[in-house]
Amino acid sequence: MNQRLWTFAGGKHGQFSIDSVTAVRGEPLPTAPRLDVTQRADRPRDATYVLRGVVSNERYVNRGEKGLLVSKQEALGRAEATCSVLIPIKKSEAWWGLSQDERRAIFEDQSNHIALGMKALPQVARRLHHCRDLGEDAPFDFLTWFDFQPRESAIFDDLLGALRTTEEWQFVEREVEIRVTREPGTSSK
């Protein structure tokens, strides 16, 4: 198993209670009562759906941006960060056919993706998982997993709203938003 592989399974089990599932663009995902987030090697058999992705190297961030991000960002799983959101995204073939400099120009110069994310730090923590280069047939290209305290949810909503108006989001073919809650005092592990 790839040690950087994470599995998100919607079904009857899991640390998180699913509050809402919104199909932002394209096909929805089924509803389920719980979300299970693990680094397990096998695919949970009794899940309604299973999404998997790998934490990888950064694709766009430059040295200066990386230094700023590292200095401001917090780790996932803080005790009071009981709100989590999973956002699976699929981008278009047009996006993947662009060269690196073209994608970077859209991502940051035109869309301020990194700068927008920076504005939500340190309140919103995140981890990005890549699915496009898994050997398996993956329905999404990315899974982004966020957490924050309930009282900081406006900061997260603003980030989401701003990103969805960007040039980069013109290349998003499918997006689902899964909002979940962890009972305070329980572990996210």
Binding site for its own copies (CB under 8 A): 1-3, 5, 52, 54, 56-63, 65-66, 96-102, 104, 130, 132-138
Closest CB to its own copies among 72 and 96? 96
Q: What is d(CA 117, CA 122) in angstroms, rounded to the nearest whole number?
A: 10
CB of 116 to its own copies, least distance (A): 18
Sequence length of the chain is 189
Helices (H), 34-106: 63-72, 93-96, 100-104
Give the position of tokens 């993706």: 113
CB of 131 to its own copies, least distance (A): 8
Q: What is d(CA 111, CA 166) in angstroms, rounded to the nearest whole number?
A: 5
Closest CB to its own copies among 50 and 155? 50
CB of 115 to its own copies, least distance (A): 16
Peptide bond into 122 cis (omega under 30): yes
Closest CB to its own copies among 108 and 147? 108
